[in-house]
Amino acid sequence: MSVPLSDLPRQLLEELLAMGVDTRKTYDDVAAAVEEDVPGEDVTSEATVPSDASDWADLEVRADGVVAGLAVAELVFRYVVGDAVEVTRHVADGEQVTPGDVVMSVRGPVRSLLTAERTALNYLCHLSGVATTTSSWVRALEGTSAKVRDTRKTTPHLRALEKYAVRCGGGVNHRATLSDQALVKDNHVLAAGGVVSAYLAVRSRYPSLPVQVEVTGLHQLQELLEVGAEQILLDNMSTSQIAEAVSVNAGQALLEASGGLTLARAPEVGETGVDFLAVGALTHSAPVLDIAMDLRAGGVES
């Protein structure tokens, strides 16, 4: 157990980098997750599985969904099992899957496979759940020009992976950190003395930074349009209010609806002509996609 980062396949590391995640951080997070699960030894596997037993195991989907996180699951197996593991993927991230689909097969020492199983599945099931939830919103918005966008309501230490999973499901990412875009919310507006004052303060301090401002009424929207705001968040507005905001905006700024949104309501909100729907539930409330690992029938090889 505990394969160094430098000994992992270059192709896997390049894939993680292409996903938009920090490979060193992801490796360290996986190592910490494994350590959390196995601070000593896997006592059940040590007691029940012969030390020389080797076999294939299949990761099988048990519900309809969209898969995401296969590279991280592979990283877990390679970290725990080392050079003795063989990994075969049968689908790619972003693909629709149905019950009975095998998304990945792994072969190696059975003890090590079983030790890695839960950590690998924790990542894969959660990220696939985010992708699946996102895909549901994307389907709900079909026929409109609106896109579903995530938020910073993510699991600590998993933001980059969860935002990757949102993309796998067909969604769009909002800012990743408090540093890469300004989002002026109600408390900022109160502190600055108004939406225009807050917007101009950010624009003056950070002239090249994207700025989005939250509004709760059409009068605030109009004030921001008059000073050239380019992104405006419509907070907790009814569908009719959103439609009126779109009319007032007349294509001047990008508009994002936020607050009180549900999957059932998504189509009517999308039909207003708003550009984005901000949905924190993509990451903070996504149910996992049920995926299980099973040793192949016929028993282990020894």
Question: Which positions are annotated as active-site residues?
Answer: 118, 153, 185, 214, 235
Alpha helix ranges (H) inside the chain: 10-18, 23-37, 43-48, 70-81, 110-140, 159-168, 186-192, 195-205, 218-226, 239-249, 266-270, 281-284
CA angle, residues 81, 85, 90, in degrees to nearest 5: 125
Q: Do 133 and 289 touch, CB atoms closer than 8 A? A: no
Long-range contacts of 245-248 (CB under 8 A, 24+ apart): 245/218, 245/221, 245/274, 246/272, 246/273, 246/274, 248/218, 248/221, 248/222
* Beta bridge partner(s), residue 257: 234, 277
CA distance 205 to 275: 27
Tokens (6 digits) for 262: 């549900």
In angstroms, rounded to a whole number, what is the distance separating the alpha carbons of residues 134 and 120?
21
Q: What is the CA radius of gyration of the chain?
A: 23
Are residues 152 and 159 in contact, defined by beta-carbon separation less than 8 angstroms? Answer: yes
- Contact assessment for residue 62 and residue 287, using Cβ atoms and an 8 Å cutoff: no
Please give the single-letter amino acid code of residue 194: G
CB distance 144 to 270 below 8 Å = yes
Give, in degrees to the nearest 5, the angle at Cα 230 between 229 and 234: 85
